[in-house]
Chain A
Amino acid sequence: MRSRFDEELSRLSSDLTTMGALCEETILTAVEDLSKGNTDAHQHIAPFVEEIAGKEKAIESQCLKLLLQQQPVASDLRQISAALKMITDMDRIGVQASEIAEIIGFLDGRTGSECEYIRQEAMETIKMVNGAVDAYVKHDVDLANKIIDMDDIVDDLFCKVKAFLIEMITNNPDDGGYALDLLMISKYFEKIGDHAVNIAEWVIFSETGVHKGGA
């Protein structure tokens, strides 16, 4: 009985890892599309997002089944409940990456290269998502804490992007729409960073039983 439960738990863990990997791939593709100015970015991203959504459903029902049938306690319960929360954040990351892809479609092939900060922000976000999934896979609480701290860097970069875009609009009012699109992209990156922080927090919860997000 127990060994079957353990098997199910390890399957849950590997499914979650796969889902995390899909998120990484999605956001990486979005950033690549942005840097190349691919207007059909949305078509690249769509299959990933669909797959992520499918995985979310599958993991969710798997978690519920485990909760009902095995009535886990202590660390097993934490692991499953953290998984339930993490998939929501991962799903949001996928959706937001697809939003970014949609906006890239409106940029008419421009890449936002005027603003170095957007590229930096994208890189930092990728690092955060990567690190959050890594922390989950390796059960690494220290790494998870580092990811939570990294959020400040991304927030800071978002502010820099904002300042840059304000200046851009003042100097070149014709580029207003473009600047706003870039702002949206930057905001989505910032949101993805927040979701990575959430994932990191749930990793810490599942390892230590303490949830940093308060309450």
Chain B
Amino acid sequence: MRSKIFRSTFFVAIIVFLSCLVLIMGVLNEYFVNIQEKQLKSELVLASTGVEKSGVSYLKKIKKDSERLTLVAPDGTVIYDTWTDASKLENHGDRKEIKEAFETGIGESHRYSATFTEQTLYYAIKLPSGDVLRVSTVRLTMLTTILGMLQSIAAVIMIAFILSLVLAGIVSKQIAKPLNDLDLDRPLESDTYDELAPLLTKIEHSRREIEWKKEELREKEKEFDAVTQNMDEGMVLINKKHEVVTINPAAKRFYGYTEDPVGKNFLLLDRDVEVSKMIDEAEDKGPSERVKEHQGREYQLHASRITSHQNPIGTVILIFDITEKAFAERNRREFTANVSHELKSPLHSIMGSAELIENGMVKPEDMTRFVGVIRKEASRLVTLIDDIIQLSALDEKKDLPLEEVFIKSFIEEEIETLKPMAEKKNVIVKCTGDEVACNVSKQLLHEIVYNLVDNAIKYNKDNGSVEVNTSSFNSGNFGSAKIVVRDTGIGIPPEHQPRIFERFYRVDKSHSKEGGGTGLGLSIVKHAVQYMNGDVTLESKEDVGTTITVVLPVKN
């Protein structure tokens, strides 16, 4: 814009200057011609008076370098000429100015020289003597004037040129200055041309809108970041070229990537053939999933295509840790299988015995034994179902009534009910320690103590012993009760110890019915203890014995 203004100003100045020059030259020329003519005429008048008074001798006194004066006789012959010898001049009678002078008293004419660079002016006047006096002068034409002045004209043009150059530069700069100084961030505050006001208002409006949109976008981005940064699931966004666009910290952790992989190919993070296939599937068909084992944990990868206006623009990959879920799923399946097995085996015994009796294949004297089997198995089923109900009740975390229980006397009562069983195995059961008052659910405490002591007797050796010790201690601000059940039994091999609290888990894989256990006892103990915010620990040595310690908070 500045250059445009500069050029226009410059050309305007030059054109105006040149046309002025031409006009002035024309006017000046005219003016000079007039002046010259007047001078010539007055000179002629002067000369004619001179000639009148003193004749040819006057003319002879005139210097050669002034205007040319010629005296012509009425017949046209030249009497005298101040420049040349009159005798050499031809007859002037037919010259226009002389003829006019003879006829009217005054004559004038002008003639161009052969080159047109000179113009000769003639004035003639008729003297009273009848002769004609003529004055002539050479006048330069305009062209000659210009050619003569060429140098100075060129100099003037040059100066004008430079001057307009400089001025045009300054002017254009001045004009453009407010525009250049325009602060587009605060367009309305700028001091500038009125013509720009609507434009500036529009700019200001758009600017505010953009600012607002930007702010909104930033907010959205922050929100998105906050969500993705803090989620446990990994998330990776890749574009069509499979370059990472966004990756959240969880995904970075998953891939063990410390630097920023944004902009790099996803293959750099994960080149698993299955994962590549998953991404291809997601791009071609739609959502796709894979389960991948990674560093000992199970992950589910989910890929789905991102489209914008029906054009695929990339893929989002979500990474879920499903280790716990898979583990729970496996546990549930195992539990169901175990339950069905445990329920079925006594039913098979019952059905077998019943069928034999039905078909009359049992001798009357054996009847008692068979009915005994049916009763025993049925009672086993009842125990089992009771245990399962107990467990599911614990799973549900139903609210159980809490009451104050004196643990030592409570345990002594429990031991009393188990005495017959202990006597059968020749096991001595005793309770030692201090009396501790505890605010617990009586039902759960019963489950804990019963199952523990029951197990201690069941898996004891002949002539073994079981000792239950109760004590209280303070852990932090809370008082706790400690129940230790120590037996001298067969013990639990170390490889089984971590799993002993699982449902239906048994050290003896044959699921021996000998002891009549359901495999749920310790599981119930663990759940019951957990329910009361307590803790249960196991310590066992094969063939030496097992010690199970239960710690319960006194107040719940």
Contact = CB atoms under 8 A, between A and B. Distances in A.
Interface in B321-335: none
Interface string B239-271: 000100000000000000000000001011001
Contacts of B272: 21, 25
A133 B265 contact: no
Contacts of B267: 14, 17-18, 21, 137
Interface in B193-246: 242
B271 A13 contact: no
Given A18-B276, A21-B267, A25-B273, 17 more contacts: A10-B265, A13-B265, A17-B265, A17-B267, A17-B268, A17-B271, A18-B273, A20-B271, A21-B271, A21-B272, A21-B273, A22-B273, A24-B271, A133-B271, A137-B268, A137-B271, A138-B268
Contacts of B265: 10, 13-14, 17
The 10 closest A-B pairs by CB, nearest first: A21-B271, A17-B267, A25-B273, A14-B265, A14-B267, A17-B271, A21-B273, A137-B268, A22-B273, A18-B276
Contacts of B271: 17-18, 20-21, 24, 133, 137
Nearest to A15: B267
B37 to A, nearest CB: 81
A138 to B, nearest CB: 7
A57 B384 CA distance: 66
Contacts of A138: 268
Interface in A13-33: 13-14, 17-18, 20-22, 24-25
Nearest to A21: B271
Contacts of A137: 267-268, 271
Contacts of A20: 271
A52 to B, nearest CB: 11
The CB with the most chain A CB atoms within 10 A, among B265, B267, B271, is that of B271
B527 to A, nearest CB: 38
Contacts of B273: 18, 21-22, 24-25
22 contacts: A10-B265, A13-B265, A14-B242, A14-B265, A17-B267, A17-B271, A18-B267, A18-B271, A18-B273, A18-B276, A20-B271, A21-B267, A21-B271, A21-B272, A21-B273, A21-B276, A22-B273, A24-B271, A25-B272, A25-B273, A137-B268, A138-B268
Q: How large is the interface on B (under 10, 10 to 19, 20 to 34, 35 or more residues)?
A: under 10
A214 to B, nearest CB: 30
Interface of B: 242, 265, 267-268, 271-273, 276
Nearest to A133: B271
A21 B273 CA distance: 6
A13 B272 CA distance: 15
Contacts of B276: 18, 21
A206 B353 CA distance: 81
A151 to B, nearest CB: 23
A51 B273 CA distance: 11
Nearest to A138: B268
Nearest to A19: B271
Contacts of A133: 271
A133 B273 CA distance: 13
Contacts of A22: 273
A138 B258 CA distance: 12
The CB with the most chain B CB atoms within 10 A, among A14, A20, A137, A138, is that of A14
A81 B307 CA distance: 38
B312 to A, nearest CB: 18
B241 to A, nearest CB: 8
The CB with the most chain A CB atoms within 10 A, among B265, B272, B273, is that of B273
Nearest to B268: A137
Contacts of A10: 265
Interface in A100-139: 133, 137-138
B239 to A, nearest CB: 13
A22 to B, nearest CB: 6
Contacts of A14: 242, 265, 267
Nearest to A48: B273
A81 B263 CA distance: 25
The CB with the most chain B CB atoms within 10 A, among A133, A137, A138, is that of A137
A199 to B, nearest CB: 14
Contacts of B242: 14
A113 B271 CA distance: 30
Nearest to A139: B268
A133 B265 CA distance: 15
A18 B267 CA distance: 7
A46 to B, nearest CB: 15
The CB with the most chain B CB atoms within 10 A, among A21, A24, A133, is that of A21
A47 to B, nearest CB: 11
B281 to A, nearest CB: 15
B243 to A, nearest CB: 9
Nearest to B265: A14
Nearest to A11: B241
A133 B267 CA distance: 11
A22 B267 CA distance: 12
A172 to B, nearest CB: 32
